[in-house]
Amino acid sequence: RRVQVNVGRTAVISCPAFGSPEPSISWLKNGQPLITDNRHALLNGGRQLEISDTSADDDARYTCIATNDIGLADLETYLQVVGAPVISGGKQEMIEVLVNEPKDLICDASGTEPIEIEWLRDGKAIEFGGGPRSATSYLQVSSRGRILHILSAQVTDSARYTCIAQNSAGDAKKIYDLAVLVPPTINETSSSPPLQTIIPGTGFAVECNVYAIPDAQVCILHLKTEKC
């Protein structure tokens, strides 16, 4: 049989032994005699093993053995100590991706299963379902939710994404700040024409409208001096 307890809580394992004459009861942990201490106490004549402030070290196979002059009987109990999930790689990560390129956000969550994974975008749950350009049209998940695939990053995808991993013992979170980068492009329509005619001695202006993320440094090159 199996008993499950959240880490830090108290676990009680029962040994419903009876007989005539009254049996004596002993306990094993993973096949070795159990040593009682301030966290491991035997109650009700040894018929209950109480483990307080459980930790991962208490995750084991426990055997109670009841013996009298006639014979013996034993019962095995597997104690599973459930800890809250852990996400590797720190609590926050800065990620950059070029526009129209794919990008994966990896939520490497470990711990006692089952672990449920939820993704948020700017604090709101991502719903994987819908029509064109809905979540599933360019966002997908795999590996039981642990990988969020951005199939073709757009400027509007720049946001804060949060992975939440949760089980019965608690949860863990990791934040991904995604920046979608755009290489410089010149808007020829709103920029100065490539050929301008001016009267000698008068001034002129050259306008170069550039779009980029982050903002680009613009240099207007003089062909003769090859300097900005």
List, for residues 134-182, the tens digit of each pLDDT value.
Answer: 444 578 899 999 999 999 999 999 999 999 999 989 999 999 999 999 9
44 and 91 housed in the same domain: no
55 and 69 housed in the same domain: yes
Query: Is 225 a residue whose pLDDT tops 70?
Result: no
Specify the range with the lowest mean pLDDT, choosing from 11-20, 133-142, 181-190: 133-142
List, for residues 44-96, the tens digit of each pLDDT value.
Answer: 999 999 999 999 899 999 999 999 999 999 999 999 999 999 999 999 999 99
pLDDT class of 129 with cuts at 50, 70, 90 = low
Query: Is 205 a residue whose pLDDT tops 80?
Result: no
For residue 9, give its domain range.
2-82
Number of domains in the chain: 2
Query: Is 5 a residue whose pLDDT tops 60?
Result: yes
- Domain membership of residue 132 (yes or no) is yes
- Domain membership of residue 28 (yes or no) is yes
44 and 18 housed in the same domain: yes
10 and 67 housed in the same domain: yes
Of 104, 117, 184, which Cα lies nearest the Cα of 146? 117
Place of tokens 């959240």: 6
Of 47, 153, 34, 150, which Cα lies nearest the Cα of 100? 153
77 and 92 housed in the same domain: no
Note the pLDDT of residue 135. Answer: 47
Query: 172: domain CATH number?
Result: 2.60.40.10
Give the whole-number percent of the chain exceeding pLDDT 90.
68
97 and 64 housed in the same domain: no
52 and 113 housed in the same domain: no
pTM of the model: 0.74
- Domain membership of residue 199 (yes or no) is no
pLDDT class of 133 with cuts at 50, 70, 90 = very low
Between 203 and 7, the more confident residue is 7
67 and 125 housed in the same domain: no
pLDDT class of 101 with cuts at 50, 70, 90 = very high
105 and 163 housed in the same domain: yes
Per the rule left: phi > 0, alpha: psi between -120 and 50, beta: everything else, 212 is beta
15 and 74 housed in the same domain: yes
pLDDT class of 127 with cuts at 50, 70, 90 = confident
* Amino acid making up residue 171: D
Query: Is 42 a residue whose pLDDT tops 90?
Result: yes
pLDDT class of 206 with cuts at 50, 70, 90 = confident
- Domain membership of residue 130 (yes or no) is yes
174 and 102 housed in the same domain: yes
61 and 90 housed in the same domain: no
Q: How far apart are CA 145 and CA 152, in angstroms?
A: 19
- Domain membership of residue 151 (yes or no) is yes
For residue 12, what are its two tokens? 């009680």
- Domain membership of residue 188 (yes or no) is no
